[in-house]
Each structure stands twice: as structure tokens, then as C-alpha cells.
Amino acid sequence: MDKVTLVVMAAGMGSRFGGLKQINPVGPNGEILLDFSVYDAVDAGFSKVVFIIRQENEEDFKRVIGDKLSQKIDVEYVYQDMSCLPEGRKKPFGTGHAVLCCAGKVNEPFAVINADDYYGKEAFKEIYGHLKNASGTDFSMVAFDLKNTLTENGTVSRGICELDGEHLKSVTERTKIKDMKYTEDGENWTELADDTIASMNFWGFTPDFFPALKADFENFLATANLEKDEFYLPFAVDKMIKSGFATVKVLVSHDKWYGMTYREDIDAVKAALSDKILKGEYNGI
């Protein structure tokens, strides 16, 4: 099987950026980070992209983003379902819930990414190469060299990966990392090894993922504090690994990851991506 879909979690874009029209351009011709991700996905071999959005953002999303990208790849939309929210909760349940909304609509191997991260060409090629032959509960993820995901402008939160051979054993969230060190209390710092790798929410699944994700979500709804708890995708995957339900092969990318955690990051991102365009890496973007 070589039909592979890219699923993009974009339901939070409007709220994070104060409206889709105000998304920060990072390319010399107004390109946003999502333009680069879709370009790299098409180049790697992906045949379709599915955007998870909020229904109220559909018109803006299509006008600002989707209609342009539909000229390069088949585009479909999935709404993040708000009908299951209890009284008093104002936002969806998180990334695991977002991906679950694709059940029944994505029926082939698929990768999942954040809409507002730059992952680089190597990441898309690696995960496509794995997914085009994936079946059952043979899942995957792209991890990055931690040192290639840091910023000079403050601390970051990263999922630090522990491996068992080529497969993921666990992901530990470290919420304050800077200069290859992390702190739990803001005062005492622990060194991280130079070859530490981190999860940046770039996952690969087959359709067999959905029934297990649904069962976990139903358990979450029955046991969680529904006013504030989140149903995170990495936590759901971690449970599947520890229960023996699935394996997750780790594909390591050595490309530089770019995001805009801090406003001060924007200039560095713009400079790096403009340089890639000048070098011919994104002709026709």
C-alpha cells in the first residue's frame, strides 16, 4: 500500500493567533509554516491532507490556507467535534480528541502533525517510507535531536524519548529545558546527554489506531475532571505501548525544527526559511 494521508491538527490556529487572517508569515512571499509542511509532504509522496479545524473557522481557513493548498494536493476537512463537551467547558479535549475526530474518514495509513511547526524534509520522507507499508498496530513517530529544537529566547517543553532498540519505550515531558539542561523547580538543573532525542508531535498510525483511541477516550470521559483535563495524543500512545497493544518505531530526523514559542523566535525562523527558498529547496512554494 502506498496511499498515505497527512493529518494536520489545526483546530487551535484561530485562537492561538487571534484569527486566521493574522497568522504570522515566515516566507518572503507571505508563506506560513503550514505551506512548507504541505510542500514537504507532497514531495515525500503523500497523496492527501486532512485538516482538523473548528467548524466556525472553515470559511476563513479555506480562504487563507486550504484553497491555495488544494492546488497541490487533495484536501479534506474534519471538524473537531464539540458536541461531547460538558456544561462549563469552553474548549475541546486536546490532541487525542482531535485525531479521534478523523475516525471513519481516514481509512489508510496517516501521519499527524501540528499546523504551526516546521519539521523539515527528512521527517516527511522518513515517515512516508515507513507508512506506505505499515499495517496493524505497527505505528511510528519522528523524533528530533533535542539540540535542534531549542531556542535562545527562553525555556521550552519537550517530550524526552526513551528507546528500546528502534522502538519507543516512553516519553517523559520536561516542561523547562534550556541549553540541554532541564529543571523541575526552577533552581536545580540537570544535564541532558548530547544525543537526547525529543518528540515534536509527529506521529504515524494505521486505521487500527482509531478503535483503541476511542476506547481510551471513553474511559477518559468516565474518569477525568471534564472541566479542565486534556486528552493528549502522546498519553494515549504511551498507554498502548505499555499495554502491549502497539509498537512505535522511532525515526530520527537530524533536520533543524522550527517553531515560534516566543515572539523573538520569528526573525530567526524567517531568516532560515528565506535562505532555504533562495537555495532552491522550495521552488514553486
Q: What is the CATH number of the domain that holds 205?
A: 3.90.550.10
| Residue 69 is assigned to a structural domain of this protein | yes
| Structural domain boundaries, residue 125 | 5-133+199-241+261-278
* pLDDT digits 0-9 by tens, 140-178: 999 999 999 999 999 999 999 999 999 999 999 999 999
| Residue 181 is assigned to a structural domain of this protein | no
| Residue 162 is assigned to a structural domain of this protein | no
**How many distinct structural domains can be found in the chain?**
1
Q: pTM to 2 decimals?
A: 0.94
pLDDT at 120 exceeding the cut of 80: yes
Mean pLDDT of 260-273: 92
| Residue 34 is assigned to a structural domain of this protein | yes
* pLDDT digits 0-9 by tens, 73-105: 999 999 997 777 777 787 889 999 999 999 999
pLDDT at 256 exceeding the cut of 90: yes
Integer Cα distance of 91 and 72 in angstroms? 32
| Residue 141 is assigned to a structural domain of this protein | no
* pLDDT digits 0-9 by tens, 48-70: 999 999 988 899 999 989 999 99
| Residue 171 is assigned to a structural domain of this protein | no
Query: For all residues of the chain together, what is the average pLDDT?
Result: 93
Mean pLDDT of 110-124: 96
| Residue 12 is assigned to a structural domain of this protein | yes
